[in-house]
Each structure stands twice: as structure tokens, then as C-alpha cells.
Chains A and B, each alone.
Chain A
Amino acid sequence: MKFNFPLFVVTALLISLNAYAEDHALKSGVYEQLKLAVSSSGEVTGYYADSMGDNASQTCIFTLHGSRQSVGEATISAHSAQDYPGKLSGTDSGVMLTLPQGQQQPGCMNLLPPDVATGIEFTRGLETQWQTLAQAAAEKVYLHKSPAADGGKKVWIIKNDVVGIIAKKENWSQVQFVNDNGKSTIGWVETSQLKTLTAAVR
């Protein structure tokens, strides 16, 4: 049996599939407790941090590294004390994080629900142009207005603050820092004052 679909039906189907893929694409940004960078080549870097109440004796911190398998999905590895495999998927309003052994990570058993094994959605609060994430390596790292030592200082971040890297120029990186209140600052820092993202392991 042969079916002939009118061209306009096929076109409409392709357009809607494309729109769906675009709506569910993995994008860099701040997703509640999760900061996420998706590079143009599809590398995925993430940093998850949560703590209990106001007197935080429990903290759940881990990094994510992986690569995009399709527009809307990436296989990742969560790292704290050891690596745990998982995946990230784009949703209507954010990302779905799936870590089958997510609660096994240090500090996470009472901060991540068991549902993380099958997927928890985090809502996007801010979309960014981050290519990757890094942390401040020095005690105090100034954000300059331009990629030069005399480029005028704006503000500073402190050791282990997580920033998104937007671009690089010679020895300088253009970074974006988003504080706890969602306030965003973009500036240039010397790349040597940044370090690769790591979960805080004692």
C-alpha cells in the first residue's frame, strides 16, 4: 500500500518538528540551583549547588561535564567525590536533569529528591551566551571593562565563585557573574586567574 502525503502536510510537519526542537534546545543559562554552559561545539558544563535552610550544614555541590547528542539532549557525568552518569534534556521552560545515582553524591541525599533518578526539571531564570564555566582561582579577581590590565575595574569576585565564559581574547576571558539575587555582571578577567570547574571536595 502506498501513501501519498500532500507536500504542504509534510512541510507543516517538518516546520513543527523544527520548532519543537528549537523550543527544547539545551541552552546556556541559570536554572535555579544549576548553572549551565553549552558551547557552540556542543560541550556541556554545569555546576549545581544547593544547601539546607539558612544555617547550612548540608550542601549538595557537583559539576556536570558532557556533550550534546542532539539539539535537546546531552549525556553527562556528574562529579563530586566520584563520577555518576546521567543526562540533560531541554524542556519547554528549562532543563530536565536525570541522575540515576544522584542521591549518592556527598551532601545530596537530603537535598535532592529520589526523583532525580528519573528526572527533575529546573526552570530557566536567565539565558546566557556561556561557552563554558570556570571558577575564580585567586582570593579576589577583578572584572575589567576591557581585556587589558588598565581596562578599568568594575567589580570583583572571590575565590571559587562560578562564572560563565562568553569569549576569549589572547590572555583574557570575557566572563559573566550572576549573584544569588540574579544580578548579572559582565567583564574581562585574566584567564590565569580562573581555574577549571571542580566540585568542592575536601
Chain B
Amino acid sequence: MKWLLVAITVVATALADLLQSYELKRAGEQSVSARGIARLAVTVARRRYLILSIVCYAFSFFAFMALVQSQPLSFAVPVSAASFILETVAAKLLLREQVGPRRAAGTLLVLGGIILLAR
């Protein structure tokens, strides 16, 4: 059950992030002021991919919630970071982001840290 919850958290998070990144870049710069959040909420309601990303987040959230109840937070948080690899590769291939040697090296350092954190 533990690993099923991890899998749901990881896949749903990766999907949500990819959809959001793609759609929010198209929607333009957003802010978190009171007016900015209201506008952001309207933007989310009007864009299919953002609505879908929220649905994915909901799956990810409830799976994560069940995970943190049964496992230590210091296990649940790092292990759910497996979405990291999936998302970085997809960001390069699907979103056409420039993941050069420096960004890739930094990302691998962070990933190494997250794996070590889970020990």
C-alpha cells in the first residue's frame, strides 16, 4: 500500500506540474496579491489544462495525505520527489526548456541530496 501511494503521488504530481508549466507560461505573469490570486483563480477556471492539473494535484494530495499518516514525514517528502527526474526530462522534451550542463549538474546534486535524505 505504501508504494502504491508513492506511485500515485509521483505520477499525479508530474502530470500536474507539466500541465501547469505549459499553460501558465501561455497565460502570462501571475501574482499572489489579493487581486492577483482572484485573477489567477479565474485563469484556472477558464483553462482546461489548469483544471486538469488541479484534478491531478487532488489525487496527489490525498495519496500524500494517506502516506504522511502512516510514514514519517522525513520519508514521505523525499520519496515523493521521484517525480523530479520524470519532470526534468519531460520539461526538456515536451516543454522545450533548455536543460544545459550546469542546470543538469545542479539538478543531479539536488536529486542526490533528496535520495540521501530518504536514507
Q: Indicate whether A and B interact.
A: no
